[in-house]
Structure 1
């Protein structure tokens, strides 16, 4: 020990000389290490077993005092010591060489405010206290009045003891996720045990709110503080349902199986016998792929089993699968899936979200695509499924394949020299579609009737085209298009006067049979189009705020001819007992379509317009002080004239218009005009309406107009939010981020009250739609006119920075009734979110009250009370 003391004294003398020489502040180190060698002869006297094996670094801002006789070192003013991974900072630190204890304390100023509270950091853990003692030799510590941070958790203890293995035992403790010095809530427990990066275990604990004890006691508590993925129990939620009884919902177990895979098992159970089970594995590989699968089974028992007339059962299942592939995983190859398949009654009995319940259609899509690098080939293969939950109709298409050869120029030389000749611009491409589809009722899935309903077809299309300039301002585009259809079934339909008609309940219906085999039909057409652009401008005076208005017209005119190659595939079919007939194809209902009958030789014409205005603007930064405003993005008319038809040569006129006024109001409108007259029985006559002396292009058969706009106050934190979103997208990768966003958006739409932006004081979205149809019923002279109008609005506003009220609703002017309405109130409680959701109208009425903790650590600390439509 004398040798050690002499060595320590020598180091202190050297430090004193350096300090006297003007070294800023007070800094130094103590270094005592076994086996250390330098240029001097080796010391043959062995060091004691209690000597340290690493240096102690220390510094102080105010002063440093060495008490040689007591073997103590005193540090004053922003003192700091560091031994291996342990770092201690405080206003005052005392190091005792005899005991190996480092003691850190705070001081108080004249106002009683604490200065320099001790903080110990060790292996990523942080402890803040009033007083602490750390034994360098045993690595044990005593900490008084400490507050420690473990991820989202804050643990305070009047006294705690830290063991050598970093395990901590606390006495008179508090646990909370509130980051305030005086937390809004906390659990108070007499004794706790903390296993770093694993668990916080406590005995009996009492919940305090705003420092006031509540009647809520728990016999013990286990709080996981593991960072990253961890397996564990998912706490269920207690519910009361008048149809299913008392139950526990969403309880289960989470299994973490590494960074690339995990599994969630959840289930529901009710007192009347209903139960459900859902397995949800997810998988991911960064920059490769990610996806998730949900397998749900439910056995639903409604009503009291003791009352047979009110008791019913239903067994259902549902399968969903989402898969996305990162675009960088295999350039040129992509595979994605969005599968949603199940029984028609699953949503009715097991889903409480309004949007899911009212959606009668579900569908699936699995797609594989490949693009050959440096080649013009593209291949897409997929499986598609659609299902109507009301009618129980199912449609499955597999395989559904498309092969495309992009436009190639066979007469173009490998090296272009000079201006290309006209024939070098000739381009040819190829496209083929293979489709195999079955339409059936869901009860026939997997049965022979499903396979009997299957249809297979293939379509080939070869377009040849090129374009050449004419008179510098026109573009002439000739082209030839050849299409061939392959079928595996040919339908034969005939009127059977003795067959029962299920629709009318009388005799007389169409009898359908089919012949299997390989059948073909083909179609060819030639066309030539001429297009140009005309510009007109009107300029105002220099003193006017309106500088100019520009009008752009883009007329198109094309001639086309299609010979009659398919009359042999059409025949007359009687469709009612009166003997009326119509022309039908032997391939009607084919999944790849049928070619049109008869010849066509005519003109197609169209006119598109664009209107812009240039105005004076003080906000312009280019120096011109001008701004362009789009008055009309587009408006025009389209039609055709068949030169070889024997009647009704002129087609209907299609009109359209669209604009976005002031970058706020979106307006779009469309309509159709029939240029032919009708007689008193509602039949079309081969006479134009303007031949009656009327100034009109035709009779309006249908029209629609829609308007939408949105307003909101400025979000001062929008820049920071966008940066946060961008950083998260960069971490996840494009495809993975998109899938995650879709899941989050669905959750937000389903629970608007729990996901509100308190940084936007108010927001409102408005939309209006109007549609008009004018249908004439032949042989009766009757006219059916139908007008539908619908307005929808949604928005919210903040009563205070913490209170927000929102409303999503609409009004149906046709039925004169309020549409689906959802009202919600949200309150930011700092550590908790409170939301009230109300659906007051309609079949699926609902009221829910939810209060939940924000911290993910306490996500199971959630109170929810929901009353469905059948409970009100």
Structure 2
């Protein structure tokens, strides 16, 4: 410190403040007399703005700059004068620097993990370590980048580790386009890029190019390219093309291309290639598949055209043609309106020729058709209204000549259903109308029911007040309901379709039912009285009479029956009153605490009912003689075979009884997460018996006994069984006698007349990707709900059934499904005493196992123990080729034999690029 101020601090601070104020005033004077202008050093300004010499480097925002005549080279502040005021108002203007020629039209965001170096004189900057640059929609990532402001070119390259291996490959993303390369140059000014040794993805396809040019409109030009759907860096296959062009979101077009497999060129050349990369609906040709059929000759199958007609409709046309003259055509339109309805229709026509037309005795021709239609309505479209259709109708021989999958071949029954239903909101009634069709392809019988309508009124309680207070009285529980059914049906052979014979067989009927019921708790029992009234309406009456002059040599029986029909309105009635009693009885057996079995619980649910039925249907029956003996007379109904049934004749006082049992076991389980560490096991889901006893009948008062049992052992083995026992004995001629079996000295409830038992189980190893598949399944269900999801699943299952070798799951090492069925029936022919026994025993098995992680063998077959014959058998071998799949299907024996080998890409884009060899044989 200066000595003069050593002890005088006030004098020191006054001197310091004076000096500081003088410096600040000097700065203000300089600023007041200064004006905006370029730096005297031209290079200083050019390094940042690159302005044009001789022109001003500033531009006003609001108005032109006003030059002051008193000061040359200086801007003056414009002054606005108000005529009503003596003072003048000064308004200042804002100025911004003029953009240089090499400036960009959008900001560039950049960052780097390691460092960023800016070279101002050279107008370049360098980014090191996981660098990222974003400009508009362009996102570029690379290990190293450098940018030149003078040229506007950004270069991205890789780096090398200590072993000389490159890492940090440049990845360019621009919208839906992705480029993976080792060197990339991008011009921000022209928005063009040149990429070296790039790998880009377009939809399901990948393009490998030595050099790629990207234009400003996003179109791509490649040189020395390879196109593939294999997602490996070194693909298993690719199409080699010298030049290729990519039109974004539309097409990939190439010149002459050669198929290369595992790096080895093949003799397969194509003059050009067009690969679509668009999403959504597009019309186009469907390539056919080459096949060889022993009966039809060389052929092309499933060729056609797909026609997209908008968001709501499309049409697929497919056809088959063979060298021996057979052909088929299928039209498949589909329609959809989101959140309202969707459906599809298949119309198929086929002509199959066998033999030489010149030799009439050996030549046959079959003309067939098949119509299928499915329609589903969204439940939210019109609450309370639903319309659905599932139609499958055609000639009986269509499957024989035109269908080759296992499940369709072995199923001889097809059916259809079209239904409309309406439920009134807030009302207790509903209406349903439907068309139903059943067809047996073996016997050629067809059953059609249309219109089939029903109207139902749900149970209402007429004696119950609107606001119920307290415990209801017994009469307040009385419920009344109503239902009516209208049926029109016809049963005929397929050769009678739309002919007079078909309409002559048409039957019409109507049934009305009014039940009245209520329930009363009596201790641990439930008492349920009820009254039921039914009325039947018919439009045709069948009158049968015995003609003793007719002789049938086949049965060596004198006499015959003549049948005539009478049209009109006819009615029959039936009424009954009943009361039933039911309860549940529980029994428990508890084991010791040290036992692994903790307890066994037995639940019995007995039911008993008493009913009375007066004889109101006497006028609906007639006595018919069928022989010369006095006892050759029987009571028959005028309306046998009616679509609404026939009321029973005679009085009946029935005591009906039933007993259902349930058996469960509780065992110790370490896997259980609860505190008890116990697990319930069902031993018997149900086991019971039902029957009735007629108190008024003169004979045969006891009905047959119906028994059943079902269980699921260890949650793996499903078992179900049922049968019928006749409690009466028969004589040598097969006639039933009014004598019980146990009265004849047999310890049994009756003769077993029919029975069946089925068992099924399934085993498989753990799925390696079960969680991923569950997630995909949930996503699919979220996208498609209700009937749409069901139909999508059905279409997928149909594809799997048609080509089991192409849809195997390599994530499951092994799988096996087993099922066993046994049916038995025994009937005695009256008069002759002959016994007819039908006994069927069949086992079915299907499964697959993996020889290696990429090889899988599967088998679908069965065995008939009665005929000692192997059932329809289908064997397949599949090989996972990563991006391709090979399948070999073999049907070695039977009526329909077939061999096929298929090699096809997994990608849906190249699904028509498949190699198939098929041989089919018929043993008619």
Category of TM-score, reference length = shorter chain: over 0.9
What is the alpha-carbon distance in structure 2 between the residues aligned to residue 158 and residue 60 of structure 1? 28
Give SS of 2:895's match: coil
**Equivalent of 1:224, from 255, 265, 276?**
276
Is 1:341 the counterpart of 2:419? The answer is: no
Cα separation, partners in 2 of 1:6 and 1:613, compared to 1, 3 Å: same
Displacement after TM superposition at 1:752 (Å): 1.6
Counterparts in 2 of 1:422-571, with a 5 A limit? 422-470=474-522, 472-497=523-548, 509-571=560-622
Is 1:387 the counterpart of 2:439? The answer is: yes
Structure 2: where are the runs of 5+ without partners?
1-37, 51-56, 64-90
Cα separation, partners in 2 of 1:500 and 1:272, compared to 1, 3 Å: farther
Which residue does the alignment assign to 1:117?
169
Give SS of 1:651's match: coil
What is the alpha-carbon distance in structure 1 between the residues aligned to residue 44 and residue 384 of structure 2? 74
Is 1:53 the counterpart of 2:139? The answer is: no
Aligned residues: 851
Cα separation, partners in 2 of 1:276 and 1:37, compared to 1, 3 Å: farther
What is the alpha-carbon distance in structure 2 between the residues aligned to residue 388 and residue 7 of structure 1? 95
**TM-score, normalised by the number of residues in structure 2:** 0.87
Cα separation, partners in 2 of 1:690 and 1:64, compared to 1, 3 Å: closer
**Equivalent of 1:412, from 464, 471, 480?**
464
Which residue does the alignment assign to 1:777?
829
Cα separation, partners in 2 of 1:576 and 1:821, compared to 1, 3 Å: farther
Displacement after TM superposition at 1:616 (Å): 2.1
Whether the 8 Å contact between 2:59 and 2:96 is mirrored in structure 1 is: no
Moved more, 846-855 or 701-710: 701-710
Give SS of 1:868's match: strand
Give SS of 2:778's match: helix
Displacement after TM superposition at 1:495 (Å): 3.0
Is 1:271 the counterpart of 2:323? The answer is: yes
What is the alpha-carbon distance in structure 2 between the residues aligned to residue 808 and residue 179 of structure 1? 33
Is 1:583 the counterpart of 2:635? The answer is: yes
**TM-score, normalised by the number of residues in structure 1:** 0.93
Displacement after TM superposition at 1:33 (Å): 14
Displacement after TM superposition at 1:101 (Å): 2.2
**Equivalent of 1:708, from 760, 775, 790?**
760
Which residue does the alignment assign to 1:350?
402
Moved more, 240-249 or 299-308: 299-308
Displacement after TM superposition at 1:112 (Å): 2.4
Which residue does the alignment assign to 1:847?
899
C-alpha RMSD of matched pairs (Å): 2.7
Whether the 8 Å contact between 2:894 and 2:923 is mirrored in structure 1 is: no
What is the alpha-carbon distance in structure 1 between the residues aligned to residue 741 and residue 715 of structure 2? 39
Structure 1: where are the runs of 5+ without partners?
13-31
Give SS of 1:869's match: strand
Is 1:374 the counterpart of 2:419? The answer is: no
Which residue does the alignment assign to 2:372?
320
Which residue does the alignment assign to 1:808?
860
Cα separation, partners in 2 of 1:581 and 1:36, compared to 1, 3 Å: farther
Whether the 8 Å contact between 1:287 and 1:733 is mirrored in structure 2 is: no
Cα separation, partners in 2 of 1:7 and 1:622, compared to 1, 3 Å: farther
Which residue does the alignment assign to 1:622?
674
Whether the 8 Å contact between 1:286 and 1:732 is mirrored in structure 2 is: no
Which residue does the alignment assign to 2:452?
400
Give SS of 2:896's match: coil
Which residue does the alignment assign to 1:170?
222
Is 1:677 the counterpart of 2:729? The answer is: yes
What is the alpha-carbon distance in structure 1 between the residues aligned to residue 323 and residue 238 of structure 2? 34
Which residue does the alignment assign to 2:786?
734
Whether the 8 Å contact between 1:33 and 1:52 is mirrored in structure 2 is: no
Which residue does the alignment assign to 1:72?
124
Displacement after TM superposition at 1:604 (Å): 0.7
Cα separation, partners in 2 of 1:502 and 1:391, compared to 1, 3 Å: farther
Moved more, 86-95 or 122-131: 86-95
What is the alpha-carbon distance in structure 2 between the residues aligned to residue 716 and residue 53 of structure 1? 52
Moved more, 287-296 or 61-70: 61-70
Whether the 8 Å contact between 2:60 and 2:96 is mirrored in structure 1 is: no
Whether the 8 Å contact between 1:119 and 1:129 is mirrored in structure 2 is: yes
What is the alpha-carbon distance in structure 1 between the residues aligned to residue 655 and residue 61 of structure 2? 100
What is the alpha-carbon distance in structure 2 between the residues aligned to residue 814 and residue 35 of structure 1? 104
Q: Deviations over 1:813-868 (max 9, x none)?
A: 11111122222211111111111122223212222211211011111111222222
Whether the 8 Å contact between 1:609 and 1:635 is mirrored in structure 2 is: yes
Displacement after TM superposition at 1:37 (Å): 8.6
What is the alpha-carbon distance in structure 2 between the residues aligned to residue 159 and residue 444 of structure 1? 71
Which residue does the alignment assign to 2:664?
612
Q: Deviations over 1:359-383 (max 9, x none)?
A: 3322211111111122111111111
Which residue does the alignment assign to 2:114?
62
Give SS of 1:428's match: strand
